[in-house]
Chains A and B, each alone.
Chain A
Amino acid sequence: MRFRSVIAVLAATVALPVGAGYATDLEVTHWWTSGGEAAAVGELAKAFDATGNKWVDGAIAGAGGTARPIMVSRITGGDPMGATQFNHGRQAEELVQEGLMRDLTDVAERGNWKEIIRPASLLESCTIDGKIYCAPVNIHSWQWLWLSNDAFEKAGVPVPKNWGELVAAAPALEKAGIVPLAVGGQPWQANGAFDVLILALAGKDTFLQVFGEKNADVAAGPEMAKVFKAADDARRMSKGTNVQDWNQATNMVITGKAGGQIMGDWAQGEFQLAGLKAGEDYSCLPGLGVNEVIATGGDAFYFPLLEDEAKSKAQEALAETLVDPKAQVAFNLKKGSLPVRGDVDLAAANDCMKKGLDILAKGDVIQWTDQLLSADSQKQKEDLFSEFFANPSMTPDDAQKRFVEIIATAD
């Protein structure tokens, strides 16, 4: 607790100084703190400063799980920031319902967001009771398998083309002293990896039945049993990861200590920062190379309702900046995520991003668990899968039984 409040205090002190000047200061809180993420956020700040306002950076270290409670308590506690990151979906749902967040419908209509933002589900996730409450900034898809070409070369096996091949290659990797699959210790990583396995191995329909309709029978069915078997494989292959943060796990892939990692496309920024080239040094398999569907979760900025006139103006400027084509390109190239609009030129995009853009263009998209499940259900899943990945004596059957219970009571 002490640790967190220290961060909160630090974040607050960052916001306090630099009062003078004509520009309106707007504090923006987010949890983009890894190397690639920080570089990307710098682009947004630059674009916002160019509008004559000032971006006051309120980065909160320690991933969303640490950052969100601080953000929420600042908003509910009457000390709102100018704008804040959330994953769009249901994380800010109650804040909106309580009237703590600002209605952006005007800005959205002026900017014609309905037309330009694609896929449309992004804006839908921002819409509550017909009003738009957030500005989406990127599309993040979890469904990627990142592979170190070096590691496979060292183990003397070809780089896998799909999940099955990776499982088959695992013994060779282990023999070469390489961890086949890096899974960091933070609970959300195991949870996300499992959701990816469902979508890739059981398909879109099952995924939607389980998380969309909360159908407990499907969750208990044979399709899901298959996924739990695969999760068992993943657990075996992840033995020896011994790191906590996702970027440390990604770093194991970058340095060839691990064969692969199931992680969202934000991992791409780390590969870029390390100077690695897609296709040559590392490979990426969307949908684990089995089922090329990507989810359109992502990040969005929400704007707490403020009294201050000047700051409200600055909020509008920020909302416009976030969906601005130039800012979109600059930000997403650095971050490795996909832009929220289809009309921007991403010629500079690398191999992996192009794969993502293709899938997006084909419309093979799906809503992600952040949009379908409440934070409460997500946390229960996190507890289950972090236990499952850490405890080899828990059988896939047991895990499935507990999974069914969570789905049965999910909201």
Chain B
Amino acid sequence: MSSNARAGRPSRLTRNLSAKIASVPMMLTAVVIFLGGTVWTVVYSFTSSKLLPRLKFVGLDQYERLWSTPRWLVSIENLAIYGIFSLVFSLVIGFVLAALMDQKIRFENTFRTIFLYPFALSFIVTGLVWQWLLNPEHGIQSAVRAMGWAGFDFDPLYNSSIVIYGILIAALWQGTGLVMCLMLAGLRGIDEDIWKASRVDGIPMWKTYLFVVIPMMRPVFVTTLVIIASGIVRVYDLVVAQTSGGPGIASEVPAKYVYDYMFQAQNLGQGFAASTMMLITVAIIIVPWAYLEFGGGRKRV
């Protein structure tokens, strides 16, 4: 697509025709399934649909009920805590690990494999493993107590006020390996000469990382951010496997609310309202960012 050098072939429509034809199915999928499904969901969120979708409009009733439901509020709060901490910790831990890895250490391959390994497990398996590890009768608590610290208490999954951190631990264990790999790839992409230059100037290593290397890795950070953020919003299976939302409703998340109300409570309208709220949340985050990143015709990086 580099040029229009050859004159007399003006039609932009026919240029690269085969590529365009090839992408038609994907475009249809995107429009019909993603966009169509989204619009359909939003429309039906204003109805009183129960088990089956029915077009009986009730205005904003579903939303009013949603925002007066304690379980939904707890879900949102949990998602905020989980989101902020998992974003910060996986970026920081991932970057630090990658930076350490980048020091030309021995057995780098081995370490990389070890750190990346948890990512090969599904959230269900991760959740079950951590459910056992954090179980006070079989897991870490009993192991530490058996070693002599009888007063040791560590049972996040059975304590309403900190259960979300128990889930966070599992999520970090599973996800930081990937972040580390992405960061490592970014670090390897930094020209060796930059390091040499900063060494000549006598800039300490941490300063080079903070003020030179990280700004240069902006694209990698953006990619990583998108991957982590999408993982946060849709978190569901980890919670189901680890706590099923318990104790009580202390570790509920929005995606689980949507599922439970759509299918268990046979109340599609309520589920759709909740999923529309999730969509809006994502849009609020994505739109300004996308505007800054791609808008205004300005090219950065």
Question: Pick the contact of B248 from A95, A244, A389, A402 — CB < 8 Å?
Answer: A389
Describe B's contact surface by its main secondary structure. Answer: loop
- Candidate in A1, A69, A73, A383 with the most chain B CB atoms within 10 angstroms: A383
Question: Pick the contact of B244 from A94, A95, A186, A402 — CB < 8 Å?
Answer: A186
Describe A's contact surface by its main secondary structure. Answer: helix
Number of interface residues of A (CB under 8 A): 34
Extra A-B contacts (5), CB below 8 Å, given A91-B266, A94-B51: A3-B241, A383-B71, A383-B249, A386-B246, A388-B248
Closest residue of A by beta carbon distance from B68? A405
- Candidate in A3, A73, A91, A388 with the most chain B CB atoms within 10 angstroms: A3
A129 at the interface (CB under 8 A from B): no
Q: How far is the CB of B148 from chain A (nearest CB, A)?
A: 22
Residues of chain B lying within 8 A (CB to CB) of residue A242: 135-137, 158
Q: How far is the CB of B275 from chain A (nearest CB, A)?
A: 13
Q: Does the CB pair B70–A402 fall under 8 Å? A: yes
Residues of chain B lying within 8 A (CB to CB) of residue A349: none
Residues of chain A lying within 8 A (CB to CB) of residue B52: 76, 94, 98
- Place the interface of chain B in its size category: 35 or more
Q: Does the CB pair A65–B264 fall under 8 Å? A: yes
B261 at the interface (CB under 8 A from A): yes
A290 at the interface (CB under 8 A from B): no
Residues of chain A lying within 8 A (CB to CB) of residue B240: 3
* Total A-B pairs, Cβ < 8 A: 89
Closest residue of A by beta carbon distance from B241? A3
Q: Does the CB pair A3–B248 fall under 8 Å? A: no
A217 at the interface (CB under 8 A from B): no
Chain A positions within 8 Å of B, measured between CB atoms, are: 1-3, 65, 68-69, 72-73, 76, 91, 93-95, 98, 185-187, 242, 244, 374-376, 378-380, 383, 386-391, 402, 409
Question: Pick the contact of B260 from A2, A379, A390, A391 — CB < 8 Å?
Answer: A379
User: Bound complex: CA of A399 vs CA of B82, how far in Å?
Assistant: 27
Q: Does the CB pair B266–A72 fall under 8 Å? A: yes
Residues of chain B lying within 8 A (CB to CB) of residue A244: 244, 246
Closest residue of A by beta carbon distance from B127? A3
Closest residue of B by beta carbon distance from A66? B264
Residues of chain A lying within 8 A (CB to CB) of residue B152: none
Residues of chain B lying within 8 A (CB to CB) of residue A93: 51
Q: Does the CB pair B265–A72 fall under 8 Å? A: no
- Interface flags for B260-301 (1: CB within 8 Å of A; 0: not) read 110111110010000000000000000000000000000000
Given A3-B124, A244-B244: A375 and B266 within 8 A (CB)?
Answer: yes
